[in-house]
A and B are shown apart, each in its own frame.
Chain A
Amino acid sequence: MKISDRLAYGILKRYGIETARYAFVKDRTHAERASKKLSFPLVLKIDSPEIIHKSDSGCVQVAFSENDLGEKFKLIVKNAEKLTKKIYGVILQERIDGKEMMIGSKVDEQFGPVICFGLGGIFVEALHDVSFRLIPLEKRDAVYMIKDSGAYDVLRSRGESNINAIVDTLLKVSRLIEKEGIRELDINPLMVNEKGAFAVDVRIIK
């Protein structure tokens, strides 16, 4: 069962995994108030356990300014209500530029908890460029799993600093999985830029 995004972001935070700045809101007024602490453009995402593929169903919207925030809020809730009544709220999130990577985890029948890293985005299944390791991860494992994936060539042009940020994030996710007993996790995309690595979307299945 997918846990609420609000809780999922909370878990990431507890383990020191950086995320795009966000606020969790229940209604339109709440959204308008919360948006003042964030900078536009903002991405709106439905938080519902029933909606797994948000972008396919109009449950991700972008508000470019305060002026269209209300309208986009209305639209996203309307789209979500077509699918389910179970809606926890909406996540307002700052947009981050960078290279789209992913970190994931699952419990394998033969090996127990494993972690993966690779090129992210909505085409991950088509790209099929991820490398796996068993949890717990050591630093050296994290370095080599990045080097083993095709993402390494994409990252190399940006220098060592963002690779270190990914290594750091991988080690934190490894610890998180070990401690929290999570069945499946996707951080996709993990946006990587010169400032670091930021979880932009997370999905946790308990």
Chain B
Amino acid sequence: MNVKKLKKKVSTFVIYVLAIFVALVFAFPILYMISISFKRSLDIVTWPPKIIFFEPTLDNWLWFLFSADVTAMAPQEGRRIIEIYLPNSIIVATVTTLLSVSTIILIAYSLARFNYWGRKPIAFSLIVIRMIPPVAAAVPIYIFVNSIGLRDTLPGLIGPYSAFNIAFGTWILYGFFKELPVEVEESALVDGCTRMQALFRIILPLLAPGLAVVAVFSFIFAWNDFIIALFLTAVNSKTMPIAALGFYAEEGVFWGPMCAYGTVYIIPTIIFVALVQKYIIKGLTFGAVKG
């Protein structure tokens, strides 16, 4: 009996050690980056690496806010990132999210609640569009956006991002729609609501988790996209991911400022993921499993 108990204790211990190890492996690069943003440049390039014990400094963050004379000056100015790239990214991601979510609601509603000619092929075409890798679409989009004079403008990014998001997000929201009983809506119609009233007053509040997931995915797609921005931006419309290319010079890489930049960059992602984490998996599997 005692042996059995001991065996169980040991196996529980091993499982916890493994679980913590896995979490550490996946959290480490993020924590490491944040810690480096507070390191002096000399402490970053030492051997053996100073992982925990180092003298913290705000130089990298000051560079960001003021581009003042600090030890590690990256070739691009930190203030440019804060004053131009960051607002660009926020505008692009926010407008993309609003445009995507509002159109996705209508499409998902149409596909989930009406039966009409062409419904199936239309629903299906969205999956196919969703499969197109942004890389492969970059040149066509570049040619088109250039031809209508939207190259290097924010609308030139918002349009393509929204197009990708609509194809993707419709399926996510559709999965949530399927779980909502039709009766809820029918009783509202019987009570004298118009279809649009029923949609906005009754259905959407019930779909809040689904909407949140779609919004987060739309935002993060626009926030993270590198390849389309690389093709479409030149001077005025550069977004956060493009700034990542600016930390290399002949003298090497400016690790400190780069890690401060990376930390700023991931803050919205962390917040959003924490907010909707309960529903993310359900959204990703199109409602096929409850997450």
Determine if chain A interacts with chain B: no
**Interface set of B (CB-CB < 8 Å, partner A):** none
